[in-house]
């Protein structure tokens, strides 16, 4: 779990196959990921799969850096078996108006603006040299993109993928309508700016779409009830469902390696995850995973009491330095550890925050043991192996 500031970046070693999930910001790749991938390549390894969960600056920036530097197929820095990434060309379109000079000028203006707006509040800005969308880079360098050329989307209807040995992935989100909602939002916004042209696939359109999505302003949501340090409100008192269309488009999935199962939630909406997990486990008992990557950096808008009633684990991963929106929210962390369980829970963070300090002083309401761990760019072992 890389130090990605307020973003996400994970490298999974599934006993041979390796999976890179998001890349944080460009400097996350430069400072941490690049060294690990160079070492992996030097030992004859490869990335079996790279996943960009959704188009947000704190998830996609490091992947832009990686794919822009990894080179064409004849001289890759490290081989990549497949890439999952939902861009505009991954969705069917019904609009086919002819374009004009003004349309192209508008798209060029969005492209020139680049990804910078997504990282204004971060200490890790995306590299200024990034002038292309991730989709364009994947096509330019001939990667296997969404099992082809990127014209298919990754959604909860995607067939399970085997990445070697007994390692596989099952997609549990997003629903296709979440991807279509993001596309439609983008189209409405550029129409307001005067765009009247086609949505037929093109590099320029891919660039404009991704760069706009990565820096789009978040939706207006109800303000959470302020929680004083001595307050005793529970997650159920303050939970407000996420309405970010971008977050709703996150790829959420389960990695299975033999009996070991890891649940990665990106920034997915809790309600979508609950519906899918309930369909997988009709019984009242929760699904127990070997590790759960908590959605949206521990935001109280993406983890509900109901979600925690259908999914549990002895290992929770929370990625955030608290620099944006105060993530993780203490109410989420307390709800995780307050529930009874037949095992001790370990909560792994990549930064100390006000929430981790407060959690250390918290006593589980159920008496279930838990441990707060802050890891410094070290491997976290899960799945039948004691975490050390």
**CATH number, residue 89:** 3.60.15
As beta bridge partners, residue 173 has 252
> According to the model, what pLDDT value does residue 351 have?
95
Helix, strand or coil, per DSSP, at residue 335: helix
Dist. CA 170–CA 83, nearest whole Å: 15
Residues with Cβ within 8 Å of 363's Cβ and at least 6 positions away in sequence, in order, are none
In a domain, 4, yes or no: no
In a domain, 380, yes or no: no
Residues with Cβ within 8 Å of 332's Cβ and at least 6 positions away in sequence, in order, are 235, 294, 298, 299, 300, 303
Dist. CA 232–CA 219, nearest whole Å: 28
212-238 pLDDT, tens per residue?
988 776 665 555 554 444 467 899 999
Dist. CA 138–CA 17, nearest whole Å: 21
Which domain range does residue 202 map to? 10-374
Q: How many domains does the chain have?
A: 1
Give the predicted TM-score (pTM) of the model: 0.92
In a domain, 347, yes or no: yes
Q: Is the pLDDT of residue 128 over 50?
A: no
In a domain, 203, yes or no: yes
> According to the model, what pLDDT value does residue 222 have?
52
262-308 pLDDT, tens per residue?
999 999 999 999 999 999 987 778 999 999 999 999 999 999 999 99
> 61: how many CB neighbours lie within 10 A of its CB?
32
**Mean pLDDT, all residues of the chain:** 89
Are 304 and 335 spatial neighbours (Cβ–Cβ below 8 Å)?
no
In a domain, 384, yes or no: no
Q: How far is Cα of residue 213 from the mean position of the Cα atoms in its chain?
A: 14
> According to the model, what pLDDT value does residue 386 have?
41
> According to the model, what pLDDT value does residue 120 have?
41
Residue 359, token pair as written in the block = 């959690």
């Amino acid at each position: 779990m890389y130090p990605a500031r307020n973003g996400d970046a994970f490298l999974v070693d599934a006993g041979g196959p390796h999976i890179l999930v998001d890349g944080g910001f460009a400097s996350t790749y430069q400072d941490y990921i690049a060294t690990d991938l160079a070492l992996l390549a030097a030992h004859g390894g490869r990335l079996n799969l790279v996943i960009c969960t959704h188009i947000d600056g704190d998830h996609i920036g490091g992947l832009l850096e990686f794919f822009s530097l990894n080179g064409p197929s004849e001289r890759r820095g490290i081989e990549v078996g497949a890439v999952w990434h939902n861009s505009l060309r991954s969705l069917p379109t019904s609009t086919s108006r002819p374009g004009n000079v003004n349309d192209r000028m508008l798209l060029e203006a969005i492209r020139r603006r680049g990804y910078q707006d997504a990282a204004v509040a971060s200490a890790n800005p995306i590299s200024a040299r990034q002038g292309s969308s991730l989709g364009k880079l994947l096509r330019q360098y001939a990667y296997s993109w969404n099992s082809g050329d990127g014209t298919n989307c990754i959604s909860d209807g995607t067939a399970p993928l085997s990445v070697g040995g007994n390692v596989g992935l099952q997609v549990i989100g997003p629903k296709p309508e979440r991807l279509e909602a993001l596309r439609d939002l983008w189209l409405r916004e550029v129409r307001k700016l005067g765009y009247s042209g086609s949505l037929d696939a093109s590099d320029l359109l891919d660039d404009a779409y991704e760069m706009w999505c990565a820096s789009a302003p978040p939706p207006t949501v109800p303000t959470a009830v302020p929680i004083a340090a001595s307050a005793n409100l529970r997650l159920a008192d303050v939970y407000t469902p996420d309405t970010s269309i971008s977050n709703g488009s996150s790829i959420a999935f389960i990695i299975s390696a033999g009996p070991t199962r890891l649940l990665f939630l990106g920034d997915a909406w809790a309600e979508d995850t609950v519906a899918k997990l309930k369909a997988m486990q009709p019984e009242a008992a929760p699904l127990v995973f070997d590790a759960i990557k908590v959605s949206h950096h521990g935001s109280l808008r993406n983890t509900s009491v109901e979600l925690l009633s259908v999914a549990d684990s002895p290992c929770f991963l929370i990625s955030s330095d608290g620099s944006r929106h105060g993530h993780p929210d203490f109410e989420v962390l307390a709800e995780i550890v307050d529930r009874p369980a037949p095992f001790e829970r370990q909560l792994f963070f990549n930064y100390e925050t006000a929430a981790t300090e407060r959690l250390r002083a918290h006593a589980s309401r159920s008496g279930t043991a838990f441990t707060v761990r802050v890891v410094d760019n070290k491997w976290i072992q899960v799945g039948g192996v004691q975490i050390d």
